[in-house]
Copies of this chain bind each other. A is one copy, B any other.
Amino acid sequence: MIIIGVDPGLNNTGYGVLNSVGHEAKVVEAGVIKTRESDNFEARINEIYTEFGKIIDQFRPEYIAVEELYSHYAHPRTAIIMGHARAMIFLQAAQRRIPIVSYAATRIKNSLTGNGRASKLQVMRMVQSILKLNETPTQSDTADALAVGLCHHNALLGK
């Protein structure tokens, strides 16, 4: 079963494609959809929409997993712009009838490390360890995408 975890953003939308087989999850692919700052806003969100559509077509996931919205954001305007990018993921999910699931940040951290208040580095290291990666994912967007995908893999196992 394929799960794609996504960490959306206007500049960088991280994604991690996981193959969930029984209790194990393996990385099929992970990467980042980047948009150019020199392009206008609408072209950039269109690019996220288009590129994410290609990833879905290639990997045909059973689930797409994203982080839930918080109640509070330090930078609301940045968060609203992230919301535009996040909407592209939801729109693709709706149009292709792929279930989209969301998890609170604390749930993701707890699922991976046993601690809902784990640091970003602790989460990244657990992503590396669980997925048997040679290196800690250097791109934090990719690590966050893999983390939410793993959280859904765990949730399906009742963990």
With a cutoff of 8 Å between Cβ atoms, the chain B residues found around residue A85 in the complex are: 87
Q: Roughly how many angstroms separate A158 CA and B80 CA in the complex, as a whole number?
A: 30
Q: Are B77 and A70 in contact (CB under 8 A)?
A: yes
Q: Roughly how many angstroms separate A27 CA and B133 CA in the complex, as a whole number?
A: 60
Q: Roughly how many angstroms separate A82 CA and B71 CA in the complex, as a whole number?
A: 14
Q: Roughly how many angstroms separate A82 CA and B81 CA in the complex, as a whole number?
A: 10
The answer to the question of A156 belonging to the interface, with a C-beta cut-off of 8 Å to chain B, is no
With a cutoff of 8 Å between Cβ atoms, the chain B residues found around residue A23 in the complex are: none
With a cutoff of 8 Å between Cβ atoms, the chain B residues found around residue A82 in the complex are: 80, 83
Q: Are A46 and B91 in contact (CB under 8 A)?
A: yes
Q: Are B94 and A43 in contact (CB under 8 A)?
A: yes
